[in-house]
Amino acid sequence: MAERKTLLIPSLLDDWFPLLRYAFASERWEPVLLDGDWREAESLGMRHVHNDLCVPFVLITGQVLAALRSGMYEPGRTGVLISQAGDACRGSCLIRLLRKVLDREGFSQVQLLSLNVRGIDRGAALPVGPRMALRARAALFWGDALAAMVHQTRPYEASSGAADALRRKWLDLLGRDLAKDRGLSGRAILRRCREMAADFRRLPVKAGRRQVIAVTGDIYTKNCHLGNRDLVRWLEAHGCETAVNGMSWYVLYYIDTHLDVWPRPARLGGKLLGAHLERLQRGMLDTLRAAGFTALPPYWALKAQAAGLAPMSCALGAGWLMAAEMAGWVRSGRRKVLCCQSFGCLPGHICARGQYASLMRKLPGSLIVGVDFDPSTGEGTLESRIRMLLDEDLDLPFPRE
């Protein structure tokens, strides 16, 4: 058997990629997650791409170049995985733009692979099989559950670092399950969620409550510490608890809103897949709530609640799901919402920024603040925007549903 090549995976989903990487492992590829400091990635990326490109492209370019320049990876035996959502996202052109950068820098031997379901760059597509799909399904829901537990436990831990240590323990346990294709049935996935919940509930915590900031926005700036400049850690250091929604909602949203562009035979399969994933999502949510954790309603319930609040025909990028998440958090009692965007992202600005004022009028007692991440934006500017949210005293009654 040929020696496995290294598959570099740039940061995108902090709470999911440590598990999802096992889905990308094969006899040909050994996945390696890239990390690093956002300042270094941003500085290096900006020296090699046009400043009109979005933050994700700048940071991914910086991460990839830093890894290849380190000498740890042989170019001829290295690939880079790039996910492409399609739609109106400029990031869907990233694989072709990154190719030019790598060629200029002497890394023409590095292979670029595309992960998408839209048929983009077919010649560079990463093969997707049943084994990958089963691992990805488990990683999706385990990541959702683990993210909720960590975010709602870490601000109150009695011993500093205890929640992160427990997270590492479970990432190791779940990673071994995924590597050995063990416990990947729907029932086994939910059983692991219950075991995690019980473990986190046994963790000693301090009494008292912090103000909760719901973090929404596009996937990269909401779910990646590089994309949002370590926002969650910053909020926790300033006395806050963060509420961040899971990825299963986005997966269901993507299936639901893109069925009409799929070939006819794939539409039925997509509907069946969506129904199956929502059943698992409901089971995961039941487990979280039984253990005292909070989460947004299941996908279809959240979509029904969004009717009249957002244009449901807008499904570019995160589309109406961003507004639905903002409304869902407010209705659950998390009235302060920080919506993170990549500056210059057209779908994000239209589908999110254009709705802030309207949503606040329709949801009395809420406060929604948008923050744009861009290499040209200083840390002081970002902090002042976020402080507008933290320092505001919301004294209007707003009962939880």
Measured between alpha carbons, how far is 159 from 161 in angstroms, rounded to an integer?
Answer: 6
Sequence-ordered alpha helix ranges (H) in 2-129: 17-20, 38-46, 55-69, 94-104
In tens digits, what is the pLDDT along the chain, a chain of 401 residues?
Answer: 568 899 999 999 999 999 999 999 998 999 999 999 999 999 999 999 887 788 888 999 999 999 999 999 999 999 999 887 666 666 667 888 899 999 999 999 999 988 876 666 666 667 778 899 999 999 999 999 999 999 999 999 999 999 999 999 999 999 999 999 999 999 999 999 999 999 999 999 998 889 999 999 888 899 999 999 999 999 999 999 999 999 999 999 989 988 776 777 778 888 899 999 999 999 999 999 999 999 999 999 999 988 888 778 777 778 889 889 999 999 999 999 999 988 777 667 766 677 788 889 998 889 999 898 888 888 888 899 899 899 877 654 333 43
Strand arrangement, sheet containing 5-9: 29-33, 5-9, 78-83, 111-115
Helix (H, G, I), strand (E, B) or coil at 317: coil
pTM for the full predicted model: 0.93
Based on C-alpha coordinates, what's the Rg of the chain? 21
Helix axes 186-201, 162-179, angle to 10 degrees: 160
